[in-house]
Amino acid sequence: MSKLRLRGFEIHKSYLSRAGQRDLIDALRPVLKAAPLFSPTIPGGSKMSVRMTSAGAFGWYADTEGYRYVAQHPRGMGWPEIPSSILAIWHDLTGLERQPDCCLINYYGEGARMGLHQDKDEADFSYPVVSVSLGDDGLLRVGGKNRSGKTDSVWLSSGDVVVMAGEARLAYHGVDRIRFKSSRLLPKGGRLNLTLRVVT
C-alpha cells in the first residue's frame, strides 16, 4: 500500500488486498442481481459507454432531461443496501460518522470510457467522494475546476482507492480508457468502479 497525491486527488495504491478485492466482488454479486446494470442516455441523446447501477438510498441517474439522483432503479424498485464491506472503506478513509447514501457502480467493458466531468449533483460538496477500482486497469485523467485547464493522468489498478476532497472535490476528472483483460479479477474482464457519495 502506498499513497500519492495528484492535483489534490489522494490515491491509495493497493488499498485492498487481492482477498479484499474478491470479497467486494462477492458482496456486489447480489447487488447487481437486484439492481441490474443499465446504460443511461445523457442530455444530447447519446448512450453512455459505461453501464451502471447503484446501491443506497439514492442512485445516480441520467436521461435526456439531465443528471440527478433518484430513489428507484429505472425498472421501478428501490436500490439495494450498500454492502458493509464497502461502507468500511468510506469510514476508514474519511473518518466520518455519516454514511454515504449512494454507491454508484460503474462497469467499463471493452472500449468503455467516461468523459471529463465534475461530480456536482450532490447537495453538500464538503463531503468527499471515495472511489474504488476493481478489475482491469483504468486511465484516470484529473484536472482542476475549469474544463479546459491542464490535466494529468494516472493508471488505476484493481484495489486502488481514490479520495476526492478539498480542492479535488469539484475538479474535473474522467476515464480515458481501460486496459481490457489486464486483470483476472472479473472472469469476463472489464473494470468496476464504485463511488461513494453523500447526496443530501
| Contacting residues toward Mn ion, per CB under 5 A | 119
**Euclidean distance between CA atoms 72 and 153, whole angstroms:** 34
Cell digits for 126? Answer: 464538503
Task: Please choose, from the candidates 17, 89, 29, 94, the residue with its C-alpha nearest in 3D space to the C-alpha of residue 55.
Answer: 29
Q: How far is the CB of 87 from ligand AKG (least distance, A)?
A: 18
- The residue assigned the cell 432503479 is 73
Task: State in angstroms the smallest separation of the CB of 96 from ligand AKG.
Answer: 19
Q: How far apart are the first and last CA of the chain?
A: 32
CA 97 to mean position of chain CA atoms: 21
Partner that binds at residue 104, options ligand AKG, Mn ion, none, CB closer than 5 to 8 Å by kind: ligand AKG
Q: Which does 194 bind (CB under 5 to 8 A by kind): Mn ion, ligand AKG, none?
A: none
The answer to whether 119 contacts ligand AKG (rule: CB under 6 A) is yes
Least spacing, CB of residue 106 vs ligand AKG, in Å: 5
Shortest distance in whole angstroms from residue 40 CB to Mn ion:
14
Q: Is residue 173 within the footprint of ligand AKG (CB under 6 A)?
A: yes
Per CB under 6 A, which region of 5-13, 120-128, 130-138, 146-154 contacts ligand AKG? Answer: 130-138
Q: At what angle do helices 18-34 and 84-94 cross, to 10 degrees?
A: 120
Q: What b/e sequence results for 147-185 when a residue is b if at least 16 CB atoms lie within 10 Å of its CB, and e otherwise?
A: eeeebeebebbbbbbbbbbeebbebbbbbeebebebbeb
Closest chain position to ligand AKG (CB): 193
Rounded to an integer, what distance in angstroms lies between the CA atom of residue 102 and that of residue 6?
25
Check binding of 159 to ligand AKG (CB under 6 A).
no
195 binds ligand AKG (CB under 6 A): yes
> In terms of CB distance, is 97 or 188 closer to ligand AKG?
188
User: How many whole angstroms separate alpha carbon 40 and alpha carbon 64?
Assistant: 9
Minimum distance, C-beta of residue 26 to Mn ion, in the bound complex (Å):
25
Among 143, 193, 196, 199, binds ligand AKG (CB under 6 A): 193
Interface residues with ligand AKG (CB under 6 A) are 104, 106, 114, 119, 131, 133, 138, 140, 173, 175, 193, 195
